[in-house]
Amino acid sequence: MEIGEKIRNLRQKMGLTQEELAHRSDLTKGFISQLENGNTSPSVDTMESIVMALGTNMSDFFKEENAVHVVYYKEDAFTALYEKLGSKVSWIVPDAQKNQMEPILLELEVGGSSKLYTPFEGEAFGYVLQGQVGLNYGEEQYQIVTGDCFYFEANRTHSIMNTSNQQAKLLWIFTPPNF
């Protein structure tokens, strides 16, 4: 991102006009306009005045922002088969354990199940994409069909089981990551 564009974004984020920024940094509105449009470059002293007027410092202003990964493709997914359980887990957002939530695609063969999860501080959400599953949540059991979802605090043991005569698929998300 260019300096002028970054100044404009920060100024607008603070709700300042070019004139207000110019006044705060002892510059002219015309200079701020030229700077934001990439028509001039500031001296180091001028830049320090501007970033101070924007409520930051040179170090933070010029800190490189890490690129944010937004889209994940099906080729990015990592899959593991759990033959004894009759399940297949696809981590659809690779390295999601560093994030606040971890989505997976869980595919269960007829009679297949997830592993048994022990209680932890967090939450779970699931959306059944295909088939019918049974949710064991502590001492309670629920039947959930295609198009239905569940959401619960993960403070009880829990697991998912395919209770239909066809493959079941669901999107399952834990926060924090726990898969």
Fold exhibited by the domain 3-62 = 434 Repressor (Amino-terminal Domain) (1.10.260)
* CATH numeric code, 74-175: 2.60.120.10
For residues 5-38, one letter each, b for 16 or more C-beta atoms within 10 angstroms of the residue's C-beta and e for the rest, the string is: ebbbebbeeeebebeebbebbebeeebbbebbee
Q: Which residue has the tokens 């659809």?
A: 92
Cα distances (angstroms) measured from residue 3 to each of 16, 21, 155:
17, 15, 49
pLDDT at residue 63 in the model: 84
Check pLDDT > 70 for residue 164: yes
- Percent of the chain past pLDDT 70, that is, above it, reads 97
pLDDT at residue 94 in the model: 82
Domain borders along the chain are 3-62, 74-175
Distance CA 112, CA 122 (A): 25
pLDDT at residue 129 in the model: 98
Average pLDDT taken over every residue of the chain: 92
